[in-house]
Structure 1
Amino acid sequence: MNETSLADTVLPPAPGAEQYVALDFVNSAVALPGGQFVDLLGTPATANQWLTAHGLAPADAGVQEMCATQLRSMREHVRGLFAARVAGLPALPTALSAVNDALTRVPTAALLQWDEKDGPYRATVCPVNEILDHALAAVAANAADLLTSPDAESLITCDSPPCNRYLLRRGRRHWCSTRCGDRVRAARAYARRTQATA
């Protein structure tokens, strides 16, 4: 079973991921029970699959190791911003710089182009070698949207060790999936039984 199918089988998207692709992005590295770890950006092929599944790159984008490394680096920067927000601490300047760099590297408006035959027209340029910049900009913008929205007040980490995923808290739920919630309840029940017999 490859990493993508393992993660999909083990954990569904965390609450809030349907609104914010940045949540799925930071959650693309998952710590699982038993010391297992799944990295959906771990190889160029899995990074390409992740980008394609989220509408950020075509299936034939041909992600290379350098691109996958840039994605993993951005993931750590966004994860650092989420961690700072959840903990109520100042953000690391390097994380802010990385996100802002991604936001400003890609033009947001259709550029003026000029065809010798037909004259001027507007078009967004996105050649194959710029796909990664566009994907990073989209994730960075989405992370900035989440961090500056009222939803940021609901941003928490999963309360089920060793899970390291982020989610938007809904009600009293403090875990990212039913599986993590079951693990928390089982641990509490075991602790109660252990205390009762002691």
Structure 2
Amino acid sequence: MRNMPDPIAAQLDAVAPLPPAPGSDVWLALDFANTAIALPGGQYVDLLGSPPAVNDWLSARGLAPENADVQEMCATQLRALREHVRSLFAARVTGAPALPAALDAVNDALTRVPTAALLRWDDKTGPYRATPCPTNEILEHALATIAASAADLLTSEEAETLTACESTPCNRYLIRHGRRHWCSTRCGDRTRAARAYARRTRSRSD
């Protein structure tokens, strides 16, 4: 990982003990949505908070080369898509109608790159198929890939098990397995401790 400004390094250190939420290793969109993290004590960590951080996140997932030199405009577009994806996840989890703007944003991202590999011709080896992704199209490719993952997840059978972490103030999403509604052991321990404290408080007041 390249040297990062101290604020970015501090943010990564803050979430280092926090494991990926269940399902985020399978669904890129879930991993993407969870890059905005609310922590206890009013802390907030944005893993896409700066162009270098965005470049690191994209390159770690094969969506950009390490030297892509992501600019703030690109980072802003990715963060905007993240809010729309989170909005669609929230609508799916709560059974609420999807915001038209969120649907439009995802569909717009889906149409930014060709859906089929184009026909290319090498003077020496002849014709071949390839999906173009030159440097100036890296962002479009990343946006389309993330949007496709979100669309696939929301229309898959696993969408029934998509849920929000029930540990306040955590705002991460996860794919639920069994009765577990927490994104990590840490969140589960915090919830159980809060419930135990609430029970003790009630018993003392009775």
The answer to whether TM tops 0.5 is: yes
Moved more, 87-96 or 143-152: 87-96
Which residue of structure 2 lines up, in the alignment, with residue 161 of structure 1?
168
Aligned match of 1:111: 118
Other-structure match for 1:48: 55
Aligned-pair CA distance for 1:21? 1.0
Query: TM-score when scaled to structure 2?
Result: 0.91
Q: Deviations over 1:132-153 (max 9, x none)?
A: 1111111111111100001000
Shift of 1:115: 4.7
| d(CA) in 1 for partners of 2:39, 2:67 | 30
Q: Which of 65, 77, 82 is equivalent to 1:70?
A: 77
Q: CA RMSD of the aligned region, Å?
A: 1.4
State how far apart, in whole Å, the 1-side matches of 2:154 and 2:128 are.
36
Does structure 2 retain, via aligned residues, the 8 Å contact 1:31–1:38?
A: yes
Alignment of 1:1-198 (within 5 A): 1-9=9-17, 11-115=18-122, 120-198=127-205
Cα shift readout 1:89-134 (whole Å, capped 9, x = no counterpart): 1111111111111111101222123456665432221111111111
One-letter amino acid matched to 2:103: L
**Structure 2 unaligned regions, length at least 5:** 1-8
Q: How many residues align?
A: 197
% identical aligned pairs: 71
AA aligned opposite 2:120 = Q
1:7 Cα deviation (Å)?
Answer: 2.0
Measure, in 2, the Cα distance between the counterparts of 1:179 and 1:117: 57
3-state SS of the aligned residue for 1:106?
coil
Determine if contact 1:4/1:46 at 8 Å carries over to the other structure: no
Deviations 1:39-90 (A, max 9, x none): 0001001111111122211111111100100000000010011011111111
CA deviation profile, 1:5-53 (whole Å, cap 9, x unmatched): 32233x1110111110111100000000001000000100111111112
Unpaired runs of at least 5, structure 1: none
Distance 2:10 2:115 in 1: 36
Which ranges of 4 or more aligned residues in structure 1 deviate by more than 3 Å? 114-121
